[in-house]
Structure 1
Amino acid sequence: MDFKELQYVLAIAKNNSISKAAKELYISQPSLSKYLQNLERNLNIRLFDRMGNNFILTYAGERYIECAKDILRIKKNLDDEFFDIVNQKKGRLNIACSIVRSPYLIPQTIPKFKEIYPNVEVNFLEETESNELDRLVSNGEVDVAIFNYSKDNPMLQCELLKNEEITLVVSRDHPLAKEGKIIKGCNFPWIDIKKFKNDNFIVNYTDQKSGEMEKDIFDKLGIKPKVVLKTRSVECGIRLAACNFGVSFALETHFKYSDLENTPIYFSIGKPKITTKLFAVYRRKGYLPKYVQDYINIVKKVV
């Protein structure tokens, strides 16, 4: 079977369009149309229904796509293994993380990685919705994703990077700013979050992992927050809290590399603190090149 054939059909299915797929594949639209016509004639079955300019998968097309992804995933595993056998310094690394983490994760890890593997191509996917990251790994679109994974997918392997503490972010001008207590086991001064029940909260959206964790905290502690603003940016929440617009939440690695002139107070909360696990997530049965594991080790040192 021609692997190019699989890639062509996948591109058409992805774009639902011959013209868009042709642009993505850097070939002419007539060439791609002819290629698909010949393929369907040889298979004696239609892979797509034509609805105007839209190409919709038939049932046969859906089965073709499922098998094509499996075949290309096996081919990639073999290619990666051959890269390692022939020359450890060559390959392709596809990484994904949330857009919240990318501002510090990319500059803190990629330069270090490229010093070791200058000839490994690196692609970084930044997702606005953390819940999409496991799908990218499962589908083979990325080699590894860095995020707070909480599901149980038998297809995926999780490597613990760090237990991250979830902190409450408060302005230094807040009336409760100096009421934190030093408690053993907490990385920051501890405070009872219920004292802030009447405060305005800056929160993330619940389709983000950070927003999901915030909602879980409120639910567990029986707090109905007064939400003054929702944002997808953790840094925005930190900066607004620092200027006393409200209070927000942040994982400790989110502000580890922040450089604010007006630094807020970070409090441990919970009994005695609340943590979440940060993982490197990759496919369980996929071949893991040495350079992927080396990248994971770099992330461990950074976070």
Structure 2
Amino acid sequence: MTERELLYVKTIAEERSISGAAKKLFMTQPSLSSCVQKIESALGTRLFQRTSTGLVLTFAGERYYQVAQDILKIYNDFEIEVSDINNLKKGRVTIGITVYLATFILPVVLPVFKELCPNIELAIVEKNSTELEKSLSSGEVDFALMHMLPHEESASHTNTDFYPLIKDPLVLVTKKDHPLKQFACARAGVAYPQIDLTKFADEPFVMVTKLQKIRQVADLILHKAQIHPPVILTTKSYETARRLACEGIGVTFTPLQYLQIFPGSYSPDYYLVAEEYTPYWTLCVAVQKNAYVSRAAKLFIRIVSEKYGANRIDL
């Protein structure tokens, strides 16, 4: 049963004649009669019978009419709902994001988005970058806010489109007045001094786990610097690693962007690392290739790019 077939039978039942229904449907009478005959033939039963007062429904016709009413109402309601979704009056956006990114991005972006779209439901899925890529592939999230490694920017990606927002440097974290501070070089107009990373070849490091992108970036930095310092402790928490570095347990790396979310109760020294070691990762929006992206999701992505990107993203 197609939508038009349902409409044909419903209209004939209400008009009680083929001619009256044909006029209402802007069809010729023979064409409508032919359509009804095909419907009855496919069903194997008559839907109408002629009487002196016009066409009336058979028992099967009455059931068809009731079903037609119900289904056509569902069609109509769905069209209204889609219109509301397209006009940002309702809908749902499922956002994949890493825990630390959520901490400083969502409080900035959500108020703007909710003011523009107060009736759009938001669902937040917090995972690490590796898990978020799986969530994208499975359709669990509409898009993801995550980081890419330096070499991933130029790589070909089979299932995901990445839209870079901004490069975020990693800084080296040490306890206050670390003995190697003497090798730091301050530069005018730069918040933190730069330090020769090779001086830390024998220093103990506190790292996050190898499954985390930040660890992968850190390992690449050390590899490019051609040093292999001992890793004395591994944790899943950037903040734990930073606090341990503050206490002199070891040194660590942390993203410059994350410094704004760390509490001020711990005050280590931060150092920039030479560009030759590509000491950064890139904040990006990740979208499954060829996937439908709703207007609401596109708006959220645009707001994020305006707040945090070098260029505005319009999907």
TM bin (shorter chain): 0.5 to 0.7
Match in the other structure for 1:215? 219
CA–CA distance in structure 1, aligned partners of residues 227 and 164 of structure 2? 30
1:241 Cα deviation after fit: 1.5
Aligned length: 224
CA–CA distance in structure 2, aligned partners of residues 92 and 264 of structure 1? 42
Asked if 1:276 is matched to 2:281, the reply is yes
Against the structure 1 CA distance between its residues 133 and 186, is the aligned structure 2 distance closer, same or farther, given a 3 Å change threshold? farther
**Residues 165 and 308 in structure 2, CA contact (< 8 A), matched pair in contact too:** no
Output one character per residue of 1:21-55: Cα deviation in whole Å (capped at 9) or x when no partner. Answer: xxxxxxxxxxxxxxxxxxxxxxxxxxxxxxxxxxx
Against the structure 1 CA distance between its residues 108 and 245, is the aligned structure 2 distance closer, same or farther, given a 3 Å change threshold? farther
Against the structure 1 CA distance between its residues 202 and 253, is the aligned structure 2 distance closer, same or farther, given a 3 Å change threshold? same
Against the structure 1 CA distance between its residues 289 and 184, is the aligned structure 2 distance closer, same or farther, given a 3 Å change threshold? farther
Q: Which amino acid letter does the alignment assign opposite residue 221 of structure 2?
A: I
Match in the other structure for 1:267? 271
**Residues 177 and 269 in structure 2, CA contact (< 8 A), matched pair in contact too:** no
Against the structure 1 CA distance between its residues 211 and 81, is the aligned structure 2 distance closer, same or farther, given a 3 Å change threshold? farther
The counterpart of 1:171, out of the listed 172, 175, 179, is 175
The counterpart of 1:248, out of the listed 245, 252, 256, is 252
Could you list the runs of 5+ residues in structure 1 that have no partner in the other structure? Answer: 1-77
**Residues 94 and 142 in structure 1, CA contact (< 8 A), matched pair in contact too:** yes
**Residues 81 and 289 in structure 1, CA contact (< 8 A), matched pair in contact too:** no
Q: Which amino acid letter does the alignment assign opposite residue 197 of structure 1?
A: A
Match in the other structure for 2:38? none
**Residues 242 and 252 in structure 2, CA contact (< 8 A), matched pair in contact too:** yes
Secondary structure of the residue aligned to 2:275 is coil
Q: How does 1:144-155 map to 2 (within 5 A)?
A: 144-149=143-148, 150=152, 152-155=156-159
1:249 Cα deviation after fit: 0.5
**Residues 148 and 277 in structure 1, CA contact (< 8 A), matched pair in contact too:** yes
Asked if 1:227 is matched to 2:226, the reply is no
CA–CA distance in structure 1, aligned partners of residues 117 and 181 of structure 2? 46
Match in the other structure for 2:291? 286
Match in the other structure for 1:94? 94
CA–CA distance in structure 2, aligned partners of residues 191 and 175 of structure 1? 12
Match in the other structure for 2:132? 133
Q: Which amino acid letter does the alignment assign opposite residue 148 of structure 1?
A: H
Q: Quick check: which has more Rg, 1 or 2?
A: 2
Secondary structure of the residue aligned to 2:261 is coil
CA–CA distance in structure 2, aligned partners of residues 192 and 97 of structure 1? 33
Asked if 1:297 is matched to 2:296, the reply is no
**Residues 166 and 308 in structure 2, CA contact (< 8 A), matched pair in contact too:** no
CA–CA distance in structure 1, aligned partners of residues 182 and 263 of structure 2? 22
**Residues 166 and 251 in structure 1, CA contact (< 8 A), matched pair in contact too:** yes
Output one character per residue of 1:48-80: Cα deviation in whole Å (capped at 9) or x when no partner. Answer: xxxxxxxxxxxxxxxxxxxxxxxxxxxxxx999
Secondary structure of the residue aligned to 1:176 is helix
Match in the other structure for 1:21? none
CA–CA distance in structure 2, aligned partners of residues 184 and 131 of structure 1? 38
Output one character per residue of 1:119-149: Cα deviation in whole Å (capped at 9) or x when no partner. Answer: 111111111x421211211221101111113
**Residues 113 and 298 in structure 1, CA contact (< 8 A), matched pair in contact too:** yes
Secondary structure of the residue aligned to 2:220 is helix
Coordinate RMSD, CA, aligned: 2.7
Match in the other structure for 1:258? 262
**Residues 186 and 193 in structure 2, CA contact (< 8 A), matched pair in contact too:** yes
Against the structure 1 CA distance between its residues 232 and 79, is the aligned structure 2 distance closer, same or farther, given a 3 Å change threshold? farther
Normalising by the residue count of structure 1, what TM-score does the alignment of the two structures yield? 0.66
Secondary structure of the residue aligned to 1:224 is coil
Q: Which amino acid letter does the alignment assign opposite residue 215 of structure 1?
A: D
Against the structure 1 CA distance between its residues 173 and 187, is the aligned structure 2 distance closer, same or farther, given a 3 Å change threshold? closer
Match in the other structure for 2:7? none
Identify the range of structure 1 (280-289 vs 151-160) with the bigger mean alpha-carbon deviation.
Answer: 151-160
Match in the other structure for 1:119? 119
Identify the range of structure 1 (203-212 vs 264-273) with the bigger mean alpha-carbon deviation.
Answer: 264-273
1:247 Cα deviation after fit: 0.8
Secondary structure of the residue aligned to 1:102 is helix
Could you list the runs of 5+ residues in structure 2 that have no partner in the other structure? Answer: 1-78, 310-315
CA–CA distance in structure 1, aligned partners of residues 214 and 82 of structure 2? 36
How high is the sequence identity, in percent, across the aligned residues? 28
Match in the other structure for 2:160? 156
**Residues 202 and 230 in structure 1, CA contact (< 8 A), matched pair in contact too:** yes
